[in-house]
Amino acid sequence: MRRPGKAGGFLVLVIGLFSTGCVSTDSTHTAFINGIRGLATPGPDCLHVQTTFIEQPAGDAYLNKGLWAAIGKPLPHELTTLLARNGIRVGVITGNPPGEFDRLISSEHTTVSPTFRTMQPGKPKVIAINGPIARVEYSAVTSFTADPTPTTGNDAECALSLTAWPADNNRVRLVCELLVQHGDRQSWIAPTTDGTAFTRQERKNLETFPTLSWEITLSPGDYLVVGATDNPVGTLGQAFFFPMVNGVIQQRVFVTKAGHGMTSETPPLATRPTK
């Protein structure tokens, strides 16, 4: 099974295993998950997200239209419209999923990198969506009154930052933020966390889009679905959701479930090891 390109330059945020009482795993191996459960007892505030991608050839009719006609639109109209101007759609599936979605999400031939991640409340995890991309070009629209801001860059990586908090009725509140980094690594001097010294740090140019972030609360069994609009050319949606795989452009939809604590059951979006 293919993996999405690694966003190696992104900050990897690791949960402390013993300091929080929340076991930290990023794994698709159920045996591995069960094995590390013996190392520490999950704390009461431990959360998890299960993520995967549905991937089909670019222009797939279901990923372009059928899927979005069958699922709910959870965000305010203004934010939904602004995201659409950037080539991005967000939806939520509640209850029984549509048959075609269920078929795609259950097939090893149409899913990429199903992963189970534990989350510490308030600590973001950065999930690679697409990249490295040899050259990226897009225009971002950050408000209804702003002109599109064109960006070009080499060796680009697109990612989604997820931050989770527990909510009532066993629900999970997620904040989702779009990130793009590109170009050569740059060095700068920054103070250490305790403020007693300085250290040299390196990273690529990092683009953030605060006005395009969204918040959503998921009940057990809900699916958060993020993908491109049906006409995303030149937008963030094209950069994020159209990877080049073996010389062929594919179309990708990001799918997430969330819950409380660890689970003794095989995670439904992480049933197969990646290769």
pLDDT tens, residue by residue, 27-36: 443 322 232 2
**Residue 89 CB partners (closer than 8 Å, separation 6+):** 68, 80, 83, 226, 227, 228, 229, 237
Q: Phi and psi of 67, rounded to 5°? A: -60, -45
Element (H, E) at 77: helix 77-85
End-to-end alpha carbon distance in the chain? 5
Model pLDDT, residue 24: 43
Q: Answer with the residue of higher pLDDT: 29 or 239.
A: 239
DSSP character for 201?
Answer: E
Lowest-confidence region among 18-27, 29-38, 59-68, 226-235: 29-38
DSSP character for 64?
Answer: I
Confidence of residue 46 (pLDDT cuts 50, 70, 90): confident
Q: How far apart are CA 23 and CA 36, in angstroms?
A: 8
Q: How far apart are CA 219 and CA 217, in angstroms?
A: 7
In the beta sheet, which residues pair with residue 207? 180
pTM: 0.78
Joined together, the tokens standing for residue 36 give 């590390």
pLDDT digit string, tens, across residues 149-175: 999 989 999 999 999 999 999 999 999
